[in-house]
Amino acid sequence: MIPRSETWRCIVRSAGVRGGNPIVEKTRVAVHDVIGLLQNGETIETVRTNCFPQLTRSQVYECLAYYDDHRREIDVLVARQMSAPFL
């Protein structure tokens, strides 16, 4: 069972999944994946339709809300992801 945050309806952390970073529950989509895409010009609709069609609009908005409360943590994860070399 994945421990659920008291504050976040669908954002969880699970040891061994995406390095224990916050993810959307029942997916492997990390909050920083969604935020990084939005910061690079995607819209909520294109994130949902083109990138992560398994996410609902409310899950994307919850990623934004989580980001608003944990900006420093997520900014670091986005920066690491953006600086990683492409293989």
11-57, pLDDT tens digit by residue? 999 999 999 999 999 999 999 999 999 999 999 999 999 999 999 99
CATH class of 11-80: mainly alpha
Q: What residue segments make up the domains of the chain, in order of their start?
A: 11-80
> What per-residue confidence (pLDDT) applies to 62?
97
Q: What is the pTM of this model?
A: 0.87
For residues 56 and 61, what is the distance between their CA atoms, to the nearest angstrom? 9
